Chain A
């Protein structure tokens, strides 16, 4: 009974009109955060979910984006608009660096190297205090401007639309990649590496391509995150950030790209709501951890699986067979 294109169009229209209805800067702030994390979660899903690459250092690309923006704008005076694409390039370069030792490895060793890489980034940021501000981070990052229009003084309306457009563009690109022959090849590598190799698929090339592609939107999101908050703090590399995004990925459904992006919106709302109570900061992370375990245990396909069932059920009335979700 549910019409997919119509539902998507309605959701987009709603997102475009939402800030006109919701006037408060706080609710807009929640959506900005949600859009940025949606990019990170969806692009992580491209490697972890779709390609089956055990990449646990994805947060490093985000953190590098944050610090690229912070360092270039405050120390080199680069325009904040320009920094956003630069951060994407820096993250892509970092992906090459991580790829060098990981591509020949399999399974758990990939996890160890990528994870160690993200911890290494944190340690470098902490130790290079002159450049990164160490534990204190970088403050007073300049805000976005269009000639005289300052994005910091418009009740967050400008940032809402910038992050919405960026996030829609990134997610549309990621979905297009997932549906392209490249995405299908990646899925083949994940589901049956031996058969994929037998069919002449170069696994190393696919994994490298996917890792680099997934790093670009993440770096971009990191840069906008930095410019929006006007600070770059080492917490972006932490376990907590990783866990938060992993929760989005799993709740949304690994391998579905759109699922994690949708889940990001809900999880940011819950997480930020709990943020109001400073005493509950640790409890919040504990709840997220329990959430991960419960989802893995009882809903391994996440929201995407649930919605696929929903669509399948409505399609069944016209005789279609339900599609098997990844």
Chain B
């Protein structure tokens, strides 16, 4: 019994960390730009494949961590380009929320099929950062999963510090709170959009690269995490990055528990049911502010 509880805790932590990396970027883009980025899941896929490609080019002798670092830079550029091509032209339109849902969905289709065209449907795997497993008492975890569990809070703390204590972070939040005032005091609003999209894509990409060391990569690997991130941001309230991160761990543990109790097949339905219940009673999310934004 104890070993089951421990393994539920471990897998919940791993899932929660991944979802937190995903959901924080999704939520940041929403708070800054008021855009829901459906291509966020595919950023994860692209990140994993870019890291894979770089690792292939650099050869097997070099530690995979360098490839991941390089891939993160590429992903930031991909995110910025995405904003420039698919979001910026529609800025200021009345129906911007709806239009950008469609453009990001189109971006999702484009990138997913682009990955399929370039790398093919064959399953691929990225070298884990550190191979091997760790057993300590009842805990049995691969080193890569341990890295995921440890890296996620560090990255999220860094994100928190950047958003709250640096000039650029405060500028991003200012744009999210009141775009016109931000513009008036001289914050380059459009550049902040570019930055937050780039940052979000890099965060999702990182989640993908870390996951690719544990599971096999496929062109559709981002679909399920996007779905989970979607449930997470509904639980946490879209407007709150902190709420999303908290909700990510809650959902991670819930999923781990559900998989052990009702089985893998019924887990998505149960999560969906929970999401519906949350929406019925607290439309602003579990940790969301009392007064949700009008959209």
Contacts and interface: CB of A to CB of B under 8 A. Distances in A.
A282 B116 contact: yes
B272 A112 contact: no
Interface stretch (A18-26, A79-87, A235-243): A235-243
A163 to B, nearest CB: 26
B279 A116 contact: no
Given A283-B113, A289-B110, A101 B97 contact: no
* Majority secondary structure of chain A interface residues (helix, strand, loop or mixed): helix
B269 A120 contact: yes
B89 A120 contact: no
Interface residues of B, number: 43
Interface string B79-117: 000000110011000000111011101111110111011
Interface stretch (B64-72, B227-235, B251-259): B227-235
Given A112-B234, A124-B269, A242-B105, A285 B113 contact: yes
A108 B227 CA distance: 15
Interface stretch (A5-13, A180-188, A292-300): A292-300
A119 interface: yes
B86 A293 contact: yes
Given A104-B280, A127-B266, A293-B103, A112 B36 contact: yes
Given A128-B265, A250-B102, A292-B102, A116 B230 contact: yes
Given A250-B102, A292-B102, A107 B295 contact: yes
Contact of B272 (A54, A104, A120, A243): A120
B101 A56 contact: yes
A300 B93 CA distance: 11
A153 interface: no
B102 A239 contact: no
Which of B109, B230, B279: most chain A Cβ within 10 A? B109
B265 A243 contact: no
A47 to B, nearest CB: 12
Given A113-B276, A293-B103, 17 more contacts: A54-B101, A100-B280, A104-B283, A106-B295, A107-B97, A108-B36, A113-B275, A116-B230, A117-B272, A119-B223, A119-B227, A240-B109, A285-B112, A285-B113, A288-B106, A289-B109, A293-B107
13 contacts: A54-B98, A106-B295, A108-B30, A109-B283, A112-B230, A127-B268, A240-B109, A246-B105, A283-B113, A286-B114, A289-B110, A292-B102, A296-B90
